[in-house]
Structure 1
Amino acid sequence: MTQNVKSAQHIRFLRQPFQIVRDNFRAYLIINAIVYGLVITGMVAAMVFPNLGATQVATMEDNGMTDLIRSLINNPWLFSLTILGVNVTSGALLIVLPSLIVPFAGIAIFAYRAFTLGLALAPTTKIMAVAMIPHSLTALIEFQAYALLMFGAYILGRSWVRPATIGARNHRQGYVRGLQQLGWLSLSALPLFIVGAIWEAFSLGYLVPLLVQWLL
């Protein structure tokens, strides 16, 4: 009996986020287009206007992010854990929490963040171009996790402002139901953050140095 209950819970955990995406597939595609489009726009902008990319890199130097990466890069598991913590915290602070207070606020905030991350990822040097070979997979995975959070923020905001879209009678009920769907999408984003963090740490620590030696 207990085993059957656990199996049902696992099936629901896997099925519920996909059901939410399927029911709102057009919005999901639009959110993805916004996220990846802004990242690519940031990368192109940094290549066309090198000062933009240089400013973003300097900001990372000033806030200690670059030094942190250097200190952890030879310890991939600790590096993975740090990346995971940074990504989850960023998602919570930039997307989820603002959206709990103001409808759709997290979408606007992270849209700007996606553009600035694109500036930092731009392959403006030969080493950065080589690093982006494996790091492009990191970006694909991690930004999909952020896209799921933004999608959840959209569902919450829409349910809050227009309760009828989620079958709720009033704004309070719409907020609660939207929050439940945001919760399911947040849970589905977590495995992506974990896989992305592990791949990022090991690829930067081991694969990128090998590629730099072979290709440059």
Structure 2
Amino acid sequence: MRLFRHALQTIQANRRAYLALNAILYGSVLAGFGAGLLFPDLTAAQTESFQSSDSADLIRSLLESPWLFALVILANNVLRAGLLNLVLPSMIVPFAGIVWYVYVLFTVGLMLAPADRDGWLTLVPHSLTVVMEVQAYVLLSLGVYLLGRAWIQPRTVGAGSRRQAYAHGLRQLGVLSLPALALLVVFALYEAFSVVYLVPLLTEG
């Protein structure tokens, strides 16, 4: 609990950056969603590309095992989306992961744009998943931002060298990673069980 309080204190101390990142990342999803509604061919192309991929085959094979499905979702969200796409690039080039993630979330918004009645019904439970998972990435992005700022401007964290500032930024990123991980765990379970049980109930008939 102490670490979660520390995360909350970090957010409060950097409220403007936190709010700005919320606007940027949620705005990217909404921009993609709007583009998908205005240009359905873009959504169709994204959907077709996904459905022909190995990821779609994997998802279909896991629909009979929601617990395993949740584990795969969690691994994808934590390792690929969070670590490889957002955190690691920013540990090499300041803020690089945030820039890349703006594009990633735009494509997510494209994929979410419904093309028919079933698409709108599916969006009802899935919208909560998107909102909370993006919030996890907002927290990671705030950690990435604090790491990059400390690295570029060591004096902002009272460090005498870039190495000390980098270590300080990594600690802040680690603190913010805990609530992000908690959100990803909870909503990996929610996403898996809603896809397996709730979505078919909404769309049948």
- TM-score normalized by the length of structure 2: 0.96
Q: How far 1:169 moved relative to its partner?
A: 1.8
State the partner residue of 2:47. 57
Q: How does 1:1-216 map to 2 (within 5 A)?
A: 11-89=1-79, 90-213=81-204
**1:34-62, Cα deviation, whole Å (9 max, x unpaired):** 11110011011011011111121122123
Q: Secondary structure of 2:160's match? A: coil
Identity across matched positions, percent: 51
Gaps of 5+ in 1: 1-10
* Structure with more relative contact order (C-alpha pairs < 8 Å, separation 6 or more): 2
CA distance in 2, matches of 1:68, 1:210: 22
Greater than 2 Å deviation, 4+ residue runs: none
Q: How far 1:75 moved relative to its partner?
A: 1.0
State the partner residue of 1:3. none
CA distance in 2, matches of 1:117, 1:64: 18
Q: Secondary structure of 1:169's match? A: coil
- TM-score normalized by the length of structure 1: 0.91
CA distance in 2, matches of 1:128, 1:83: 20
Gaps of 5+ in 2: none
Of 54-63 and 77-86, the range deviating more from structure 2 = 54-63
Residue correspondences, number: 204
CA distance in 2, matches of 1:156, 1:62: 38
Q: Secondary structure of 2:64's match? A: coil
